[in-house]
Amino acid sequence: MNTSTLQRHGHIRDVSPQVRPNTDASVLPKSKEAPEFSGRALDALRQPLESGHVVVARSGGMMRMPARFLLMLAANPCPCGRHALMGEGCECTPVMVRRYQARLSGPLLDRVDLRVHVEAVTRAELTGAHGLAESTASVAARVHGARERAAARLADTPWRLNSEVPGHELRTRWQPCSGALREAERDMERGLLTARGLDRVLRVAWTVADLAGHDRPLASDVAQALQLRTGVRRGVPVGAGER
């Protein structure tokens, strides 16, 4: 979609020849060292992450442009990056570490669905002595199957992926198994999960269920979504959320 197409759809003015929407779906913004960006720049990502568009304001008017993307952020545990190695060689003070980690604000992290702690690569892993656990082809086949299940469920809707379904629709139209949300609701009551966070956990739980071939999320699927979000291992209540 170019600017003139956007104009035909109304309520949008071309205010600068330098400003053009980039609709390349393959774009994957990624940051190797996210906390090195200013907090203001990082927080500017909140709007497009939530709504799938950005609004650019210039003196002549405003332009709304599509900005649906997959964001990957990476961060070291401290400015020098050695804090994870049992503190070996790390001379960062606790204040420096806190300040560095605080650059990724709570509201930004609230929009990050999957958080993975990555250990340093060992020499054996680097030389490939252990081999890969699973081939890319078999993972791709599993992802393809999950996408087909989601597409079939969403066939009569404007959405194709679980990540596109609005929170309200997600909560009212497609229900997980009975009791499956108990742990997530407990997290909400304890202030560990926001309402937005619950919607995001639900979307990931549907994807986990699609990958596992479940008709709808079980308690174990929601527990896995919570674990992926927080990095904290979750127990699954016995008998909860059975089909």
Residues that bind Zn ion (CB under 5 A): 78, 80, 82-83, 90, 92
Q: Count CA atoms closer than 13 A to 109's CA, side-chain side.
A: 18
Of 243, 223, 242, 220, nearest in space to 233 by CA: 223
* Closest distance of CB 85 from Zn ion, Å: 9
Q: Of the two residues 78 and 205, which places its CB atom closer to Zn ion in the complex?
A: 78
* Closest distance of CB 98 from Zn ion, Å: 12
Q: Of the two residues 78 and 226, which places its CB atom closer to Zn ion in the complex?
A: 78
Element containing residue 94 per DSSP (H, E): helix 94-102
Q: Count CA atoms closer than 13 A to 59's CA, side-chain side.
A: 0
Q: Greatest CA span in the chain, whole angstroms? A: 60
Helix, strand counts (H, E) of the chain: 11, 4
Q: Of the two residues 98 and 173, which places its CB atom closer to Zn ion in the complex?
A: 98
* Closest distance of CB 37 from Zn ion, Å: 18
Q: Of the two residues 85 and 143, which places its CB atom closer to Zn ion in the complex?
A: 85
Element containing residue 196 per DSSP (H, E): helix 195-212
Amino acid identity, position 3: T
Q: Of the two residues 12 and 75, which places its CB atom closer to Zn ion in the complex?
A: 75
Q: Of the two residues 24 and 88, which places its CB atom closer to Zn ion in the complex?
A: 88
* Closest distance of CB 105 from Zn ion, Å: 21
Q: Of the two residues 103 and 182, which places its CB atom closer to Zn ion in the complex?
A: 103
| Dihedral (Cα; 28, 29, 35, 40), 10-degree rounding | -140
Residue with tokens 């992290």: 109
Residues with Cβ < 8 Å from 212, sequence gap 6 or more? Answer: 221
* Residue 196, number of CB atoms within 10 A of its CB: 13
Of 36, 201, 172, nearest in space to 113 by CA: 201
